[in-house]
Amino acid sequence: MILGGGESGVGTALLGKAKGYDVFVSDNGEIKRKYKDVLIHNQIKWEDNQHTESKILNADIIMKSPGIPDKVALIKKIRTATIKVVSEIEFASKYTDATLVAITGSNGKTTTASLTHHILKQELNVGLAGNIGDSFAKQILEENYENYVLEVSSFQLDDIDDFKPKIAILTNITPDHLDRYDYKFENYIASKFRIIENQTEDDFFIYDADDPVIEDWLKSNLIKSQKLPFSITKEVENGAYIKNEELIITIDNNQLIMPIKKLALDGKHNVKNAMAASTAAYLLKIRKQTIRESLENFQGVEHRLENVLRINKVQYINDSKATNVNATYFALESMQAPTVWIVGGEDKGNDYRALFPFVNEKVKAIICLGVDNKKLMENFGNMVDVVIETQYMSEAVKIAYKIASAGDNVLLSPACASFDLFENYEDRGRQFKEAVRKL
C-alpha cells in the first residue's frame, strides 16, 4: 500500500511491483497526470481524491509519503492496527548493495548533496536521490548505480528500521518542522540522529563540530561509527578545518589542502557544505585534483541564494528554499548591500530573534508575502521604516522594484513554508523569477 502518488510514491510502486508485491497507490489529493500515466502503463491499481480505508487497513506494509503527518486520523488507525509503515528510503535500500551517502540537516542538505554528487560523478557511477532528483526506488529499479547520494529529511528518517548509510552527513540542527514534532525540539533532534542509528564501526559520520546542538547530543550518546567532524573555528585531528584561509581535510594522516577563495560558492555556510562534501569524496577515494576542480566549478542549486537578474544596478536573489529562520539567517548574513527583503508564508513556530541584528544592519524594507503576516509585523514592524503586506508574488516584486535603489539587493528568503500561497518552495521561487523577468 502506498500513500501519496508523487515522485517517491510512484517510484516505490514500480519497485514494489517488480519485487512481487500486490501494489495499490492511494492519494487524498489529485495525482498528477504524468504519474497517473506511469501507473496506468504499468497496470498498478490507484485512486486519488480519496483514501479507501478498507483497502489501506488490509495492507501488509505501507509506504507513507513524507509529507503526511502522523497526526492524520488515517495514520493513527494504521499505527493502531500495527501495520508496518516505512519510508521510501527504508523500502528501497533493501534492494540495493550500493554504497549510500546519506545527508540530512535543517539547512544545507540540498547544496551538500548536489555538491557531493557533482564531485563523485567525475569518477564513480553514482545516482542522486531522496528529496532531490528522481525517486530512489525508481533509480534502483532502472539505473542500478553502484553509489547513491541521498538527501534525507527527518520525515523519511521517522519511518526507517534498517536503513544504514556507509557515510552519514549531518549539516546542522536548528528548530524546524516543530509542528510535526509536538513542538518539542528534542523530538526533532532525535529524528535527525536516526541517520546513524544502524551504523557500525565500519561506517562514517561527518558532522558540524561548531553546532552546539550536535555537540551536546554527542556528549551524552555513544555512537558506533567513525566520527569525522568539520569546523571553521577549531582544528580537528580527523576531519576538515580552516587554517590560514585554506580548507584542510585530514583522514588517517592523509591531507587535502585548497584555498577557500577558490571555492565556487560564497558564504561561511557554503564553506561548511564544501567541507562535508569533500570529506565524503575523500573517503570514497576520489582523487585530490578532482575534488579541488569540482569545488571550483560547482554551479550551485536552484532556489538557494540564486542570482536571478541585475536590473538598474539592483541584484534580485531567489532564496525560496529558505523555509526556516536558520536558512534565512545565512542569506541575510551573506548580504553585502542594503536589502529589500521579501519574507513570509506558513509559519512553523518560528523564533525570529536571531535575525534582528541583520535586519537592523542590512534591511531597508520588508515585504510580507503570506496569508497571515501578524507575527512578522509584530517582530519587525518597528525595525525598518517600510513594511508592506501582499499576497501576490507579482505585486511583491513590483513593490520591491519601486523601493530598491541602485546598488541594493532584492532578496526572496521567506523563512517559512510555502503552502499558504504556493504549491511548494519551487513554485514560489519560479514565480519570483518569472515576476523579476517581467519587470
185: left (phi over 0), alpha (psi -120 to 50) or beta: alpha
Grid coordinates belonging to 170: 549531518
Higher pLDDT, 327 or 435: 435
Q: Phi, psi (5° rounding) for residue 222?
A: -85, 140
Q: Mean pLDDT throughout 196-220?
A: 96
Rounded to whole angstroms, how far apart are CA atoms 308 and 315?
Answer: 8
Q: For residue range 271-295, what is the model confidence (pLDDT) as tens digits?
A: 999 999 999 999 999 999 999 999 9
Cell of 389: 503586506
Residue ranges matching CATH 3.90.190.20 in the chain: 306-437
Distance CA 405, CA 314 (A): 7
pLDDT tens for each residue of 116-149: 999 999 999 999 999 888 999 999 999 989 999 9
Q: Is 138 helix (H, G, I), strand (E, B) or coil?
A: helix
**Residue 181 — very low, low, confident or very high, per pLDDT cuts 50/70/90?**
confident
Whether the CA torsion 51, 54, 56, 57 is positive or negative: it is positive
What residues does CATH 3.40.1190.10 cover in the chain?
Answer: 89-297
Crossing angle of the two packed helices 185-193 and 212-220, in degrees rounded to 10 = 70
Q: Sign of torsion, CA 33 155 344 438?
A: negative
Mean pLDDT score across all residues of the chain: 94
Q: Does CATH place domain 306-437 in 2.60.120.10?
A: no
Residues of the chain with CATH 3.40.50.720: 2-86
Quickly state the pLDDT bin for 221 (edges 50, 70, 90): very high
Q: Would the pLDDT of 406 be above 90?
A: yes
CB 332 within 8 A of CB 409: no
Of the pLDDT bands very low, low, confident and very high (cuts 50, 70, 90), residue 24 is: very high
The pLDDT confidence band at residue 188, using thresholds 50, 70 and 90, is very high
Which of the pair, 301 or 358, is modelled with greater confidence? 358
Region 54-68 average pLDDT: 93
Cell of 70: 502522523
- Local confidence band at 417 (pLDDT 50, 70, 90 cut-offs): confident
CA angle 131, 137, 139 (to 5 degrees): 90
CATH code, residues 89-297? 3.40.1190.10
What's domain 2-86's architecture? 3-Layer(aba) Sandwich (3.40)
409, 314 contact by CB (below 8 A) = yes
Q: What is the pTM of this model?
A: 0.83
Are 53 and 74 spatial neighbours (Cβ–Cβ below 8 Å)?
yes
